[in-house]
Amino acid sequence: MSQGTNYILGVYEDEDVLMRAITTVRESGVKIEEVYSPFPVHGIDDVLGYKRSWLSLAAFLFGITGTCLALTMMVGMMGVDWPMIIGGKDYIPIPSFIPVTFEMTVLLASFGMVGTFFVTSNLKPWGKPRIYDIRITDDKHVMAIDLDGNDKAESEIKSLLEGSGASEVNSKKFD
Amino acid sequence: MVTEERFEFTVTAKKQLVITLLVGVVLSVLGYFTLGSGSHGHGHDHSSDHSEVVEGDQGSEPYGAESAETDHGDHHGHHGSSPSVKRLLSNLWINNVFFAGLAIIGVFFFAIQYAAQAGWSAGIKRIPLAFGNWLPIAFVLMLVVFMVGGHDIFHWTHSDLYAEEGGDKIVQGKAPYFFWPLEGGEFPLFWIGRLVIFFTVWFLLFRKLRSLAFSEDIEGGTVQWYKLRSTSAIFLVFFAVSSSMAAWDWVMSIDVHWFSTMFGWYSFASWWVAGLALTLFIVLLLKDKGYLSIVNANHIHDLGKFVFAFSVFWTYVWFSQFLLIYYAHIPEETVYFLERWKDDHYAPVFYINLIINFFFPFLVLMTRDAKRHSRILKVVCPAVVFGHWLDFYLMVSPGTVGHNGGFGFLEIGLILIYLSAFLFVALNALSKAPLFAKNHPMLNESLHHHI
């Protein structure tokens, strides 16, 4: 994530206005860093031109790690290190290992995905999450534009946001 | 707004289906007559004398008849018809069960959309509903095949099992389930009665749902929608019980000494995912022909997710049945998998079944793109439908034909016959009414569906 310091925030009341505003702002060549909304807005990823998240790939990789780990562990313990016959089965009864393998796959996939999400969205324990506007958890949509990442002047962007239907346009500085 | 669309069942399409059916007939006749003289060496030698005891001829005997029996030995060897007749009947039964399942699953899908108040599916609901038109045909075929070949498919139909002396104690214990209120070994009134009741209620509720759906289309408003919802709820309650019992009756009772408490769910899961895959496949083909303009990648994605998710569900149920039997290691239970897994004849089918119904759809449909693109789905859906036919093949064949079973022209031919007839009936019904209800109260929700 880019970490600019000077932001312009457009506050929107309605998601339809927001969607149209995103299109207007992007068409005029201004880069939007992020849009925050209190609920999921359908189709917003397409309008923002976001690429597909890599989170699902991370989940798959964590999951497959869990599969391998569980199988290695059980085959190593039950088949190699201390072979035992249980219930008249082979030393390495793969069907008996499936439930544990499944659980390990799910466990690692879900923990890994949550962890990845926390790290990438700056919610990690040592991270300091930025709060652009406290009302994004309540009833306002906020479009964050990084001033350093754009060539346009501050006043030009501000008037663009006002013209696109923003109820407020604020500036915000981070350390 | 939305313009009405009607599916035109063209002469070309009809011709193609009829040709497929004829190819199926030729293949099955060819397959049937090459059986007796071919490598399946047991030939017709038992056909003349039913009570003949053939020692050391286990290869020709279905397991269900012998290996799980505790109380009696070879003197009950019901050789019945010749192996090729048995194989024909067994295959007819597999197709009867499989396609009857697809037909009722179509109605089930339709009903569940109303009961769940789902809006996304407004554009595609009539395709699975059209499957229901196969029900009366499935009923007649099932009854006829049972009357003609019941003895060759179901071991429990043989009356000498119920004799006081030298009978089979295990089967006797299950006699009321087949023969009540009559005595064991007489006419299987209870079994046939269930068959009749299931099909009658299914068909009547299907008719009710269909006529309500059509009048909803004409009248608009929500009155019919609420009626559809309550009828759907009644259907679902009945289906929950009847689908399980049908699976016990039609499939599990073939291996009459064996039972599994997972079986109803297992068969249902197999029918359900096959029905979903067939629905999705037909939706894709219709879209290719230019129909279903209101169905977009989001609806396809949802159906794709269904096929993916219920492939996993099938595997879960399959494995739940397998693992308990594998782990508990009780002889009268393990015999089921001994015949299928630890048996050279059926082991390949056992593994193919798992690969085609789990690993293939699971790995291929895992990504989002795969579920949205028709090119991949058009490979996965037919494979899954066939895979679940194979699943039923594996449930039925070891108990009916044992080592005389196989997969050849006869099997392919019969699949083609049933499939083309099924599609003919379904598509014909589909062409009788608009493809989707233009006055469906949730059509707008479906149009704006986005995932």
| Cα of A174 to nearest chain B Cα, Å | 35
Token pair belonging to B386: 């066939």
CB contact under 8 A, A96 and B326: yes
Residue A148, pLDDT score: 85
Q: Whole-model pTM? A: 0.87
Among A41, A42, A47, A54, most B C-beta atoms within 10 A, so best to mutate, is A42
CB contact under 8 A, B329 and A87: yes
CB contact under 8 A, A88 and B326: no
Residue B54, pLDDT score: 38
Average pLDDT, chain B: 89
Q: Please, which pLDDT band fits residue A126 given cuts at 50, 70 and 90?
A: confident
pLDDT digit string, tens, across residues B333-374: 999 999 999 999 999 999 999 999 999 999 999 998 999 989
Q: How many residues does chain B have?
A: 451
Nearest by CB: B323 against A42, A88, A95: A95
| Cα of A125 to nearest chain B Cα, Å | 31
Residue pairs between chains A and B whose CB atoms are closer than 8 Å: 19
Rounded distance, CA B436 to CA B439, Å? Answer: 9
Rounded distance, CA B394 to CA B347, Å? Answer: 10
How does strand A168-173 pair with strand A6-12?
Answer: antiparallel
- ipTM score for this prediction: 0.82
CB contact under 8 A, B368 and A56: yes
**CB contact, 8 Å: B323 with chain A?**
yes
- Which has the minimum average pLDDT: A78-82, B61-65, B202-206, B284-288? B61-65
Local structure of residue B46 (DSSP, 8 states): T
Q: How many other C-beta atoms can be found within 10 angstroms of the C-beta atom of residue B208?
A: 16
Task: Name the residue ranges covered by the structural domains of chain B.
Answer: 11-447
Rounded distance, CA B309 to CA B332, Å? Answer: 32
pLDDT digit string, tens, across residues B110-158: 999 999 999 999 999 999 999 999 999 999 999 999 999 999 999 999 9
**A110-169 residues touching B, CB cutoff 8 A:** none
Residues in chain A closer than 8 A to B322 (CB atoms): 95
Among B327, B358, B373, B449, most A C-beta atoms within 10 A, so best to mutate, is B327
CB contact under 8 A, A96 and B450: no
Per-residue CA distances from B393 to B58, B194, B290, B316, B321 (Å): 21, 23, 36, 19, 17
Per-residue CA distances from A42 to A48, A144, B444, B451 (Å): 12, 19, 16, 7
CB contact under 8 A, B450 and A88: no
CB contact under 8 A, A56 and B326: no
- Which has the minimum average pLDDT: B114-128, B407-421, B435-449? B435-449
Nearest by CB: A87 against B322, B327, B368: B327
CB contact under 8 A, B368 and A42: no
Residues in chain B closer than 8 A to A95 (CB atoms): 322-323, 326-327
**Residue of chain B nearest A55, judged by CA positions:** B367
CB contact under 8 A, A56 and B322: no
**A49-68 residues touching B, CB cutoff 8 A:** 52, 56, 60
**A24-43 residues touching B, CB cutoff 8 A:** 42-43
**Mean pLDDT value across residues A77-89:** 89
Angle, helices A94-120 vs B297-328, to 10°: value is 140
- Quick check: B304 and B377 in contact, CB under 8 A? yes
pLDDT digit string, tens, across residues B70-92: 444 344 445 568 888 999 999 99
Token pair belonging to B420: 């083309």
CB contact under 8 A, A56 and B329: no
Nearest by CB: B329 against A43, A52, A88: A88
Residue B166, pLDDT score: 85
